[in-house]
Amino acid sequence: MNQSRRCNGRSLPRRRITRRRSFASRAGSYSLALAALFGAAVADAQQIEAHTLENDKLSYRFTPQIGGRGLGFSTAGGENLLKVGAAVREVPAPQATAEAGFVPYFGHIVWPGPQGDWWKQQTLNAGRREAAAVWPPDPFTVLAASKLIKLTETEAEMVSPVSPVTGLQLTKRYRLDGDTLQHQVQAVNRRDEPVRWDIWFNTRVSPDARLYVPVRDFDGDLRLEKFPEMSAVAQADKNKRQLGLFDFARGENVKAKAFIEPAAGWIAAFDRGQLFLIEFEQQPRESIHPEQGQVEVYLEQDPDKPGSGVMELEVHAPYRELAPGESMAAEENWRALAYTGEDSIEGHLRALKELGLDGL
């Protein structure tokens, strides 16, 4: 029986939750031909190893492969809220090399930040280092398989290999606790010299999801960057802006990114009859690398191509220098609640206020 709490504008108890710059070039096409060109080896008989954590409220599906990646999240019995690419089925065994490119698996992944330094702290690919490349992400972080060291019905832990590009080894822990999924990530410097990184959570969802991010000062705390191949101007939704909340204005081709200093530690998205809530510890502006925002939202959407595109909900932890053997950690908490209210800003806002979130 589905015991998920419903979010309908009336029945949720209040729960108080306390808690720049990179211009990334994106792959213009997410075709698998490009994935093959960039070195993804297809093993016809091999499939992704996937595991599911579940209780009577939530379900989370993940794989230790392809970077230790989240593949599914929802209320118990609900539709998947994560955007997952066909490459998960069609390119199950990528090669993690310093020459590998982007493969559109999507789902949930952890990157190091800042993006402008992705290829600066390595010697394996001199071309990318000299070009200060901002794409693709480190293949050893997003393509290499992790080792699963703990798995129960509601908990999992896995450890990545050491990346020769970043010097980091990542340990990821997942735990279902009632209506919350806890994501904990620890990064250890395995080099004999210091490295400088942050922990960067990146969660891909449908571009049709309706987004809410609390913003105090739209002039000082929000920066929008439009990608040059798109003609539309990146804009904030005017109705939500009046309420101190950010979403992209929709209706035209959009390929843009928002860099945000959030007014509170949460991001909400309404999609597939559910409210998807990501909560995190709000950080001082000075702790976040100046090229980034603590919250970033990337949107790629073409109204003439339903189902295409992606929206990325991104959260940065503080930027730190790690001495040899030193570690840092970060956490996100996810909730998915069944939503039966009106599909409108007013209905969504009522549901968010009933959760007792800061910044509303």
Quick check: 12 pLDDT over 70? no
pLDDT band for position 7 (cuts 50, 70, 90) = low
- Kindly state the DSSP code that residue 193 receives in the 8-state scheme: S
Q: How confident is the model at residue 231 (pLDDT cuts 50, 70, 90)?
A: low
* Confidence band of 116 (pLDDT split at 50, 70, 90): very high
Residue type, 200: W
| Percentage of the chain lying above the pLDDT 70 cut | 86
pLDDT for the residue 2: 39
CA dihedral of residues 317, 319, 320, 324 (deg, nearest 10): 80
17-354 has which CATH code?
2.70.98.10
Could you give the CA distance from residue 59 to residue 155 in angstroms, rounded to a whole number?
Answer: 11
Choice between 136 and 43, residue whose per-residue pLDDT is larger: 136
Q: What is the mean pLDDT of the chain?
A: 89
pLDDT mean over 292-307: 92
Q: What is the per-residue pLDDT for 242?
A: 97
| Cα–Cα dist 198/162, whole Å | 16
Distance CA 109, CA 167 (A): 18
Nearest alpha-carbon partner for 10 in 324, 339, 303, 358: 339
Q: Is the model's pLDDT at 15 over the cut of 50?
A: no
What is the per-residue pLDDT for 180? 98
User: What would the two tokens of residue 190 be?
Assistant: 């395995």
- pLDDT the model gives residue 162: 98
In a 3-state reduction of DSSP, which class is residue 269? strand
Our CA dihedral for 72, 75, 77, 80, rounded to 10 degrees, sits at -30
Q: Is the pLDDT of residue 279 over 80?
A: yes
Beta bridge partners of 147: 159
Q: How confident is the model at residue 303 (pLDDT cuts 50, 70, 90)?
A: confident
Average pLDDT over every residue of 151-165? 98
| Separation of alpha carbons 343 and 290, rounded Å | 36
Q: What is the average per-residue pLDDT within 265-286? A: 98
- At 253 the pLDDT is 86
Q: What's the pLDDT at 206?
A: 97
Residues recorded for the chain: 360
Asked if residue 266 lies in contact with residue 279, where contact means CB atoms within 8 angstroms, the answer is yes
Beta bridge partners of 290: none
